[in-house]
Amino acid sequence: MSEQRGTIIGVDLGGTKMLVGAVDGQGKVEHVMRDLTHAEEGAEAVIDRLAALCRRVREALGPGRPVAAVSVGVPGGVDIVAGVVDKAPNLGWVDVPLAAELEKRLGARVFLDNDVRVAVLGEHAHGVGRGTKTMVGVWVGTGIGGGVIIDGKLHQGARGVAGEIGHSMVDPRGPKCKCGNRGCIEALASRTSIERDLRVAIADGLKSSALKRIKKKGREQLTSGIIDRLLSDEDPAMMKVFARAQGALGRFTANLINTLDPEVVVFGGGIAERLGERFVAPIREVAHAHLLSKRDLDRVRVVATQLGEVAPIVGAAHLARERLARAGATTATTTSG
C-alpha cells in the first residue's frame, strides 16, 4: 500500500480539548478519541498527553493498518515547513517544535497547520465543498477564523497569511477587537462577543436565564449548548443579541460573496455544529439582501458544516496526504506497507 493511501492520524489540538482520529483516503474517520488539553500544565505535558492519545488510536487500528503520518491542526500561527508552532495564545505556546517532539515520541512523520485552515480544507475535500473550485470557510468560536479556497486550493496570499477574515472591519464605530482595530466581525459575532453583548443586554434589563444557566453548568463561559437552550426557550436577551450577531455575519457574508462569488460559504465551529440551519438561515437571508448581483442565488450556497467536530481531523489528514504525495513525487521512493 502506498503512503498516500495509508491511514493518517488526524489531530485537532484545541485550547481546552484535543481530538484524535484515524482517517482513510476517502476521508472516513474511525476511532475518534478525546482528552482534555490542560494547557496550564505546559507544552511538555500537553505533547505527552497528545502522543498517548495518538498511540491509543494507532493501537485501535491494529497491526494490519500502518499509519503513514500524523497531522495536527493547531490553534495559532504555524511554520509549516519547520513544523514549529510560532504562537498559540490559547495554549500559551511560543516557538514550540511540535512536529519534532511528536516524531520523537511516535516514530512517525508529523505535519502541522493552523486548525481553522485544516477544517476548511476538510470541508472542501470531504464535506460541503466537495468538487467546488471556490469556497470560503468561516469558523465561529471564541474568535472567528477562516480560509479561502480558490481554484480548488487553499489560497495562501502574497505573504502566506491569507484568510484572516475574522478581522474584516464591518463597523468602524463598533467594539474594540483584541487585534487593536474596532468593529472587526470577530468583535461583533464571535461566541466571546455574543457573551459580552448578552451580559450588557441583561444589565440593561432584558429578561434572561443565561446567567443562571452558565452558573449551573459550573463554567464561566457561554457554551454553544447554552446558546442552543436559550434560543429554544426564546430567551429575550439571547434572541436579541444572537439576531444582531447573525445580521453582522450576514452583511459580512455579502461582502465575501460580492468579492469572491464563491460556490459555497460554509460556517463551522461550535455554534454552527450545534445549531446548523438555525444558525445559518438568517445569515443567508441578510447576505442575499445585500448582494450586488442577485442572479442565480442557488449557485452560491451558504451552509453549515457537514463534518462537524471532525472537520479539522479530516482536513489535517488530507493535507498530510497531499504533502506525502508531493514528497513521493520528488524523491520517487517506494514503500511497502
Contact set with Zn ion (CB under 5 A): 167, 177, 179, 181, 184
Shortest Cβ 178–Zn ion spacing (Å) = 7
Which residue in the block uniquely carries the three cell numbers 455579502? 254
Return the number of the residue (245 or 303) whose C-beta is nearest Zn ion: 245
Shortest Cβ 61–Zn ion spacing (Å) = 41
Return the number of the residue (177 or 256) whose C-beta is nearest Zn ion: 177
Do residues 10 and 23 lie in contact, with contact meaning Cβ atoms separated by under 8 Å?
yes
Q: Pick from 268, 220, 244, 297: which is nearest to 119 by CA?
A: 268
Shortest Cβ 180–Zn ion spacing (Å) = 7
Residue 282: all three cell numbers together: 438568517
Q: d(Cα 181, Cα 327) in Å, to the nearest integer?
A: 41
Shortest Cβ 216–Zn ion spacing (Å) = 32
Shortest Cβ 189–Zn ion spacing (Å) = 12
Strands (DSSP E) found in 89-172: 93-96, 110-114, 135-140, 144-150, 153-154
Shortest Cβ 186–Zn ion spacing (Å) = 5
Query: Phi, psi (5° rounding) for residue 185?
Result: -60, -35
Alpha helices by DSSP H, listed for the chain, are: 43-61, 98-106, 115-126, 185-189, 191-203, 210-216, 224-232, 236-260, 270-275, 277-289, 311-331
Return the number of the residue (122 or 145) whose C-beta is nearest Zn ion: 145
The terminus-to-terminus CA distance of the chain in angstroms comes to 5
Return the number of the residue (84 or 177) whose C-beta is nearest Zn ion: 177
Shortest Cβ 173–Zn ion spacing (Å) = 14
Return the number of the residue (160 or 180) whose C-beta is nearest Zn ion: 180
Return the number of the residue (179 or 325) whose C-beta is nearest Zn ion: 179
Q: How many residues does the chain have?
A: 337
Return the number of the residue (111 or 252) whose C-beta is nearest Zn ion: 252
Report angle CA 46, 50, 54 to the nearest 5 degrees.
Answer: 170
